[in-house]
C-alpha cells in the first residue's frame, strides 16, 4: 500500500454531469501535488473509513505540478 498527500473535495454539479455523460459517475475530486507515487484509473484511495475509486486522472496543462483524480465514493464494505 502506497501513501499520497492530497486534498479531498466534493465534485461540483458541472463535473458530476460531465463524468456521468461519459459513463463514469463521480462524487469527489482529489487533488495531489505531484511528488513520487500517483494513482491510476481503477485504483481505490482510502481516507479514514472512506473509499474512493478513481474514475479518471488529469495532469492539468501537463506541467506535472498537480494531479486531479475524479472519484466515486465506494459505500460497499468489500470494494
Strand segments (E) across the chain? 6-10, 28-33, 44-47, 50-58, 66-74
Return the pLDDT at 76.
Answer: 82
Give yes or no for residue 64 having a pLDDT over 80: yes
Q: How many CB atoms lie within 10 A of CB 14?
A: 8
If pLDDT is split at 50, 70 and 90, which confidence band does 5 have? confident
Contact status, residue 39 vs residue 57, Cβ threshold 8 Å: yes
pLDDT of residue 78: 62
Strands 28-33 and 66-74: antiparallel
Beta bridge partners of 9: 29
Reply yes or no on whether the pLDDT at 77 is more than 80: no
Amino acid at each position: 500500500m502506497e501513501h499520497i498527500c492530497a486534498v479531498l473535495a466534493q465534485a461540483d454539479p458541472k463535473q458530476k454531469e460531465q463524468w456521468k455523460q461519459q459513463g463514469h459517475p463521480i462524487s469527489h475530486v482529489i487533488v495531489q501535488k505531484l511528488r513520487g507515487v500517483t494513482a491510476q484509473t481503477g485504483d481505490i484511495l482510502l481516507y479514514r473509513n472512506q473509499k474512493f475509486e478513481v474514475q479518471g486522472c488529469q495532469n492539468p496543462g501537463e506541467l506535472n505540478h498537480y494531479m486531479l483524480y475524479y472519484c466515486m465514493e465506494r459505500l460497499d464494505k468489500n470494494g
